Chains A and B, each alone.
Chain A
Amino acid sequence: MFDSLSDKLNSTFDRFRGRGTLDAEDVAEALREIRLALLDADVALPVVKDFIARVRERASGAEVMDSVTPGQQVIKIVNDSMVEALGGAGAVPLNLNAVAPVPILLVGLQGSGKTTTAGKLALRLAQKARKKVLLASLDTQRPAAQDQLAQLATRAGVPSLPIVAGQTPLEIARRALDVGRREVYDIVILDTAGRLSIDQALMDEVKSVRDATSPAETLLVVDAMTGQDAVNTARAFNEALGVSGIVLTRMDGDARGGAALSMRAITGAPIKFTGSGEKLDALEEFHPERVASRILGLGDVVGLVEKAAETLDQEEAEALAAKMARGKFDLEDYRKQLNQISKMGSLSSIVGMLPGMGQLKDQLGKANLDSSVLKRQVAIISSMTKTERAKPDILKASRKKRIAAGSGTSVQEVNKLLKNFDDISDMMKRMQKLGQKGLMRHGMSALMPGRFGGAKH
C-alpha cells in the first residue's frame, strides 16, 4: 500500500549523496515526495500547499544541506511542522467555563459518529469530571436517531431528555436547557442531525439552535477517513456556526487521517478528542505527535504499545520478558508469544505501526504472512513433545516427519518454523547485548538480522 515516507525520502537523498552535494533542486524533489505522501494521506490540497511552503522555508537552511543525513533532517522538519500545525504538544481540554447547565453542541455530516461521540462524551464527563450530564438528541431527521441516543445514555448511565414526538430541534434544545436548569445539571450535550454543509435549510436550523443555546463548545465531529472534502465541510460549518473544537472519529481504522490536518488548518479550532472504537470509553484526548507520525507514515509506537497493553496478558508477558532477559527462550515461549500476537490483529497492521518498517511491511504483504500462518506455527509447536519444545536441537528427520503429520503441515514448514525460531533467539541475544539503552539509540533495526531474514522465506 503506502510506501513509508521516510523510506522514500532516504532513497531520494541516497541518490543525491552519490554526487557529494545537495542543492535546492534536491530539496525540491524531496518536497515533491512529501506532497504526494500528504495527498495520499488525504490532507486537502490547499492545506498541503501551505504546509509545503512552510517546510520549504525551513528545509532550505544550511542545516539540511550540510547534514550527513539530509533525509533524517528533512523528516524531522516535516514532523515538527506537522505537530505544530496540528496544534503543538499537549491536549486542549473542553471549555466548560460558562453558567451551568453548560451546553455542548455536536455537529457534522451524516454518519460521522455524532451520536456515538455524544454518548462517549457524556460518560467521560460523568465519570472523569464528576459532572451531572444530560443528553438530548435534536435529530428529527434520521429514523430512530433519538432512540439511539436514549439507549446509549442508558448504557453510559447518564440521563437523557425524554423524547416528545413532533417537536422541532429548536423546541427540543430549549426544553433540554429548561430541564437542565430546573434539575440542576452541570452540562447538557446536544446531539444534532447529520447535515450536508450545502443544505441551507438544515444549516439555518442548526444556526438557530446555536443562537438559542449559546453553547460553550460547538464540536465538529469528523470521520478520520474523510478525503479532500474535509476542507469544504470545515469551512462551511465554521462559517455558519463558529466551530470551537474538533472530534476525529474512527481512528481505530487504518486511514492515515489527513483530514485532521485539513480540519485544524481551515477552522483554526483545536482537535479535542479522537474516537477509536464503538465502546463508550473509546474516546481519547488528542495527541498531535501521534497523529503527525500517522499522517506521515512514520509509525505510531505509542499506539502500538497501547494496543499491546490492551490485548496482551500482562502476567504472561512479564514472565516471558523475564525469560528473554535471562536468554532462556524456548519453543513453548515462542508458542505463547505467537498466540499473543495473533490476538493483536494482523501482522502487517502491527508492523505498520513501527517506525522505519515500511519495507518490511511490504515484504510481509507479499509473503501473505497472515494470522493463518501464526496459527499453523502454533499447531506445529503443539505437535511437539515438551522435551522437543525445550530442546529444539533434538529435532531430526523422523521427529520432524511425525510433527508435520501431527500438525497437518509439511517438513518444510516445520523447518521454516525452526529457522524463524532461530532468528528470534538470535534477536534475543542481540537485545541482551545491546541492553535497553542500545535499543533506544539504534531503534528496532538494530534487532534485525540483515533485512529481517525470517520474513523472506
Chain B
Amino acid sequence: MALGFLSRLKDGLQRSTQKLSDNLSSVVTRRRLDDAALDALEEALIASDLGTKVAARVIAAFRRSRFGRDITDAEIRDALAAEIAAILAPIAQPLRLDPARHPHVILVAGVNGTGKTTTIGKFAQMWAGQGLRPVLVAGDTFRAAAVEQLQIWGNRTGAPVIAGPANTDAAGLAFDALTRARADAADILLIDTAGRLHNKSALMQELQKIIRVLRKQDPSAPHSVLLVLDATTGQNAIEQVRVFKEMVDVTGLIVTKLDGSARGGIVVALAEEFALPVHAVGVGEQAEDLRPFDAMVFARGLVGI
C-alpha cells in the first residue's frame, strides 16, 4: 500500500517537475561543476519559483561542498534533492487532530481561487473514510454558489453541511455551527471561508471576528487554522503567508494544484521564512487527490528523480 501511495504521489508531482528536470539534465550532464553550471542550476531553481534569494542560498551551499568536481547528472540531482529536502523536512507534518476535542475546529482560509472548498471536501472524504464524523460549515457566504459547491461535497462524503441564507454573517454562522457540532459531539468542524486578498484589511478583520466569536464558546478554538496556497503563485505567496499568519495565526499550510505545470518551489522559500508546517498537498480535483506532504518525495520530485 505504501508503495502504491508513493507512486501515485510521484505521478502527481512528476508532470509538475518535468520542466525542471529537463533544465537540469540539459545543463549538467557529466561535466565539471563550474560557475557556468552553477549559474544554470540557479536559474533552474528560480524558474521553479524558489525566488532569487533562496535559489542563491541553495546554490551557495551546493558550491561549498562540490565546486570543481566532476559530477554526473544523477549525483547533482541527488545532492540537490538532499539539500532541498533538508530545508523541507522540518515542515512536513501531517495535520494532527486532537481526539479530546469534540469537535476539533478547523478554520480554512486563503485568497480567492486557491482551492479552499475543494480541500475541505477532500478532508471530509478522508476523515469520513476513517470513521470520523466531520461537519462542514459553508462560511463563504459571499461568492455566488459557494454554498451549493460545499453542499455537493457534503452529499458526496455524507458529512452534514451547515449553511445560512446568502450574505449571512459568517461569524454568526460559525458560532451556530459550533453549538450544533458540540451538541452532536462531532469529531471535526471544518469551516470554509470566503476567499480574501490579504491586503484587504476589512476582510481580514472579518476573519478575525470569526475566531473571536468561536472563542466565546470554546476559548481554545479554532484548533487549526489552515491557509490554502495555490502552487502556481509566485513570490506574492510570501506576503500572503505573512499577513494571514499575523492576522489569524495560521497553524499550517495546504499547497494545491501541484498536479499542474507549476512546481511549487515557493514552498521552499516559505519553509525558510516561516517554518509553518505543510500538512498536505492537492494533486487533482477528486476526493482522493489530497496527499500528505513528504519532504524527500517533494524534493526529489522537484529535481526530477
* A residues adjacent to B (C-beta < 8 A): 1, 36, 39-42, 44-45, 109-113, 141-145, 147-152, 155, 196-198, 223, 225-229, 232-233, 236, 250, 252-256, 258-259, 278, 345-346, 349, 371
Point out the residues of chain A lying under 8 angstroms from B115, CB to CB: 110-111
Question: A110 and B43: CB pair below 8 A?
Answer: no
With most chain B CB atoms within 10 A of its CB, the pick from A40, A109, A250, A278 is A278
Question: A253 and B236: CB pair below 8 A?
Answer: yes
Q: A109, A141, A345: which contacts B232 (Cβ < 8 A)?
A: A109
Point out the residues of chain B lying under 8 angstroms from A42, CB to CB: 234-236
Q: A228-B234, A254-B199 are in contact. Are A1 and B239 (CB under 8 A)?
A: yes
The SS class assigned to the A binding surface is loop
Point out the residues of chain B lying under 8 angstroms from A232, CB to CB: 19, 261-262
Point out the residues of chain A lying under 8 angstroms from B19, CB to CB: 232
Point out the residues of chain A lying under 8 angstroms from B261, CB to CB: 196-198, 229, 232-233, 236
Question: A227 and B266: CB pair below 8 A?
Answer: yes
Q: A227-B262, A256-B236, A349-B199 are in contact. Are A111 and B148 (CB under 8 A)?
A: no
Point out the residues of chain A lying under 8 angstroms from B197, CB to CB: 250, 252-254
Could you list 25 examples of A-B contacts with CB < 8 Å?
A110-B113, A111-B230, A142-B149, A143-B149, A144-B149, A144-B151, A147-B144, A147-B149, A150-B145, A151-B144, A198-B261, A225-B111, A226-B234, A227-B49, A228-B47, A228-B49, A228-B265, A229-B260, A229-B262, A232-B262, A233-B232, A252-B197, A253-B199, A254-B199, A259-B234
Question: B113 and A113: CB pair below 8 A?
Answer: yes
With most chain A CB atoms within 10 A of its CB, the pick from B51, B199, B234, B237 is B234
Complex CA gap A152/B142 in Å reads 12
Complex CA gap A113/B230 in Å reads 13
Question: B152 and A143: CB pair below 8 A?
Answer: yes
Complex CA gap A371/B201 in Å reads 10
Q: A39-B46, A143-B149, A144-B149 are in contact. Are A345 and B285 (CB under 8 A)?
A: no
User: A155-B144, A227-B237, A229-B260 are known contacts; what are 14 more A-B pairs with Cβ within 8 Å?
Assistant: A39-B46, A44-B47, A148-B143, A149-B144, A151-B145, A198-B260, A198-B261, A226-B233, A228-B46, A228-B49, A228-B263, A250-B111, A252-B199, A278-B112
Point out the residues of chain B lying under 8 angstroms from A225, CB to CB: 111, 230, 233-234, 236-237
Question: B257 and A109: CB pair below 8 A?
Answer: yes
Q: A112, A152, A196: which contacts B113 (Cβ < 8 A)?
A: A112
Min CB gap B86→A, angstroms: 23
Q: A229-B261, A236-B261, A250-B197 are in contact. Are A198 and B15 (CB under 8 A)?
A: yes
Point out the residues of chain A lying under 8 angstroms from B145, CB to CB: 144-145, 147-148, 150-151
Contacting A at CB under 8 A, from B11-49, are 15, 19, 43, 46-49
Question: A345 and B112: CB pair below 8 A?
Answer: no
Complex CA gap A371/B199 in Å reads 13
Contact with A along B57-96 (1 / 0, CB 8 A): 0000000000000000000000000000000000000000
Point out the residues of chain A lying under 8 angstroms from B153, CB to CB: 143
In the assembled complex, B52 has its CB within 8 A of some CB on chain A:
yes
Question: B257 and A110: CB pair below 8 A?
Answer: yes
- Nearest first, the 9 closest Cβ-Cβ pairs linking A and B are A227-B234, A111-B113, A42-B234, A148-B145, A151-B144, A143-B152, A229-B262, A144-B148, A255-B236
Min CB gap A31→B, angstroms: 14
In the assembled complex, B294 has its CB within 8 A of some CB on chain A:
no
Point out the residues of chain A lying under 8 angstroms from B236, CB to CB: 42, 225, 253-256
Question: A223 and B266: CB pair below 8 A?
Answer: no
In the assembled complex, B114 has its CB within 8 A of some CB on chain A:
yes
Question: A250 and B112: CB pair below 8 A?
Answer: yes
Min CB gap B142→A, angstroms: 7
Contact with A along B194-237 (1 / 0, CB 8 A): 00011111000000000000000000000000000010111111
Q: B52, B149, B200: which contacts A40 (Cβ < 8 A)?
A: B52
In the assembled complex, B289 has its CB within 8 A of some CB on chain A:
no
For residue A152, which residue of chain B has the nearest CB?
A: B144
Contacting A at CB under 8 A, from B260-293, are 260-263, 265-266, 285
Point out the residues of chain A lying under 8 angstroms from B263, CB to CB: 228-229
For residue B56, which residue of chain A has the nearest CB?
A: A36
Question: A113 and B201: CB pair below 8 A?
Answer: no
Q: B52, B148, B233: which contacts A143 (Cβ < 8 A)?
A: B148
